[in-house]
Structure 1
Amino acid sequence: MRLTELAHGGGCGCKLAPSVLQTLLAGQPAAGPFPQLLVGTETADDAAVWQVNDDLTVLATTDFFMPMVDDPRDFGRIAATNALSDIYAMGGRPIMALAILGMPISRLPAETIREILAGGASVCAEAGIPVAGGHSIDSPEPIYGLAVVGLGSPARLHRNSGAKPGDALILTKGLGVGHYSAAIKRQALPGGAYAEMLASTTLLNRIGGELSGEAAVHAITDVTGFGLLGHALELARGSGVALRLDAAAVPLLEHAAALARDGFVTGASHRNWDSYGEGITLPTAMPDWQRHLLCDPQTSGGLLIACEAAAANALVARIRGAGYPLATRIGDAVAGAAGVTVTGAPELR
Structure 2
Amino acid sequence: MIPIMLRLTQYAQGGGCACKIPPGELEDVLAGLGVTPEDPLSELVVGLDTGDDAAVVRIEGGTAVVSTADFFTPVVDDPFDWGRIAAANALSDVYAMGGRPLIALNLLCWPREVLPYELAREVLRGGAEVAARAGCHVAGGHSITDPEPKYGMAVTGLADPARLMRNDGGRPGLPLSLTKPLGLGVLNNRHKTTGEVFPQAIATMTELNASASEAAVRAGVRCATDVTGFGLLGHLFKLARASGVTAVLDQAVIPFLDGAREAARAGFVPGGSRRNLDWVAGHLTSTADEETMLLLADAQTSGGLLIAGEVPGAPVIGELVPREEHVIVVR
5+ residue gaps in structure 2?
1-5
- Compared with structure 1, are the counterparts of its residues 277 and 34 closer, same or farther at alpha carbon in structure 2 (3 Å cutoff)? farther
Shift of 1:30: 3.4
Alpha-carbon distance in structure 1 between the residues aligned to 2:34 and 2:168: 22
Contact 1:90 1:159 in 2 (8 A): yes
Asked whether the equivalents of residues 57 and 65 of structure 2 are also in contact (C-alpha less than 8 Å), the reply is yes
Alpha-carbon shift at residue 122 of structure 1 (Å)? 0.6
Corresponding residue SS for 2:273: helix
- 2:74 corresponds, among 58, 67, 70, to 67
Q: Which segments of structure 1 move beyond 4 Å, counting only runs of 4 or more?
A: none
Aligned with 1:217: secondary structure?
coil
1:333 maps to amino acid: L
In structure 1, the residue matched to 2:150 is: 143
Contact (CA 8 Å) 2:163, 2:220: kept in 1 or not?
no
Is residue 2:207 matched to residue 1:195?
no
Aligned pair partner of 1:291 in 290, 293, 307: 293
8 Å CA contact 2:226, 2:303 repeated in 1:
yes
Q: Which residue of 1 aligns with 2:56?
A: 49
Aligned residues: 323
Q: Using the alignment, how far apart are the partners of 2:23 and 2:110 within structure 1?
A: 26
- TM-score scaled by length of structure 1: 0.89
| Compared CA separation, residues 208 and 36, structure 1 to 2 (3 A) | farther
Match of 2:168 in 1: 161
* 2:230 equivalent in structure 1: 226
Letter in 2 for 1:195: P
* TM-score when normalising by structure 2: 0.94
Distance in 2 between residues matched to 1:22 and 1:276, nearest whole Å: 13
What is the deviation of 1:262?
1.5
Q: What is the rounded CA distance, in whole Å, between the counterparts of 1:287 and 1:249 in structure 2?
A: 15
Partner in structure 2 of residue 333 of structure 1: 320
Residue 54 (structure 1) shift: 5.2
- How far apart in 2 are the matches of 1:278 and 1:267? 18
Post-superposition offset of 1:211: 3.0
Task: Give yes or no for the alignment of 1:118 onto 2:106.
Answer: no
Matches within 5 A, 1:142-291: 142-187=149-194, 189=196, 194-211=198-215, 213-214=217-218, 216-283=220-287, 286-291=288-293
Q: Deviations over 1:134-165 (max 9, x none)?
A: 10000000000000000011122111111110
The alpha carbon displacement at 1:218 in A equals: 3.0
Alignment check: 8 A CA contact 1:227 1:297 kept = yes
The corresponding residue for 1:347 is none
- Cα RMSD after superposing both structures: 1.5
Report the Cα offset of residue 216 of structure 1.
Answer: 4.2
8 Å CA contact retained: 1:161, 1:235: yes
Equivalent in 21, 24, 46 of residue 16 of structure 1: 21
Instruction: Judge which range, 35-44 or 203-212, deviates more.
Output: 203-212
Identity %: 50
One-letter amino acid matched to 2:149: P
Query: Please, which moves more after superposition, 242-251 or 32-41?
Result: 32-41
State whether residues 90 and 208 of structure 1, in contact with CA within 8 Å, keep that contact through their aligned partners in structure 2: no
